[in-house]
Amino acid sequence: MTGVASIGECMIELKQAQRGLYSRGYGGDTLNTSVYLARLGVEVDYITALGDDSLSDEMIAGWAAEGVGTKRVMRLPGKLPGIYLIETDEKGERRFFHWRENSAARRLLDLPETGDILNSLASYDLVYLSAITLSLYSADGRGRLFAALRAARERGTRVAFDTNFRARGWPDLEIARTVYRDAFAAADMALASTEDLLPLFAGESNEGLMARISSPEAVLKLSKPASIVRFEGASHEVTAEPVAAPVVDTTAAGDSFAAAYLAARLQGADPIDAARAGHLLAGVVVCHPGAIIPRSAMPATMSSTRTHKGSA
């Protein structure tokens, strides 16, 4: 087994520029994590569906240039990627607007190739997905995915679940709570935050939120610059180093944390050191606009020397 399979959706990104204009890029939580994983020297394939349009072509070329594998990207004739727009306030906090109801990625688990895609998960060291990923699919689709994850784990693949919560994706919170419970049960590692979990479990303490995570290894990012890491039955608080520059955009803070944490774990670090790595990269990312920072801005101590081959 080699590398990471990251499952999700990448969309066209529109972000504020000057004089009421917007600049166009692309992004999505699991795609952002995949790019940072590749930059950190981890072999990663992105699993999603796109259209047969020029924007989808541009995405695939960009992913390959970043070293993200595209061999498991399905191309659906006549379909298009979704779109999201980011607004940021003076503190760098972001607000998202989505147009994704008919995006190609929503059909990933309903294709003739779906069985082959799900069977391939057992060929990876780690499968990474988020709650946003799960919100894309029907109940039947999620059931097929969870069954494939259980089968992959039986063959030695680890599963990491990121709790990224977007209320628009979960109009019924009771369904969301059930899906999160099933995802925690299917995962070896849970990457959570109080920001994600409190809308589902209002009023819970940090300890109460951790108790709801059944995954054997869990990280809970706090409202302050710190996280609680639980593994081998014990919990530890990890404090982040102060951010050196002004915060301008918190987009992808969690995605980059996840990448650095998972890369460190795959490379043999313990969960505490992995959380420190996550805080370090996230602290750099929030000082730049947009989800993906310039490669030159990556922390020097995290630079990868791996040669990227792009798609295979």
Residue in 85, 78, 72 with CA at minimum distance from that of residue 25: 85
Distant-in-sequence contacts of 205-208, Cβ < 8 A, 24+ apart:
none
Burial group, residue 220, by CB count within 10 angstroms (0-12, 13-18, 19+): buried
Question: What are 117's two structure tokens?
Answer: 């895609």
pLDDT of residue 49: 98
pLDDT of residue 29: 95
Task: List, for the chain, all residue ranges whose pLDDT scores fall below the cut of 50.
Answer: 305-312
pLDDT of residue 312: 29
pLDDT of residue 265: 97
Kindly report the number of other CB atoms within 10 A of residue 281's CB atom: 28
Question: What are 241's two structure tokens?
Answer: 């180093």
Q: How many residues does the chain have?
A: 312
> Which residues belong to the active site?
255
Span 183-225, pLDDT tens digits: 999 999 999 999 999 999 999 999 999 999 999 999 999 999 9
Angle between helices 29-39 and 54-65 (to 10 degrees): 30
Cα(23)–Cα(19) distance, integer angstroms: 11
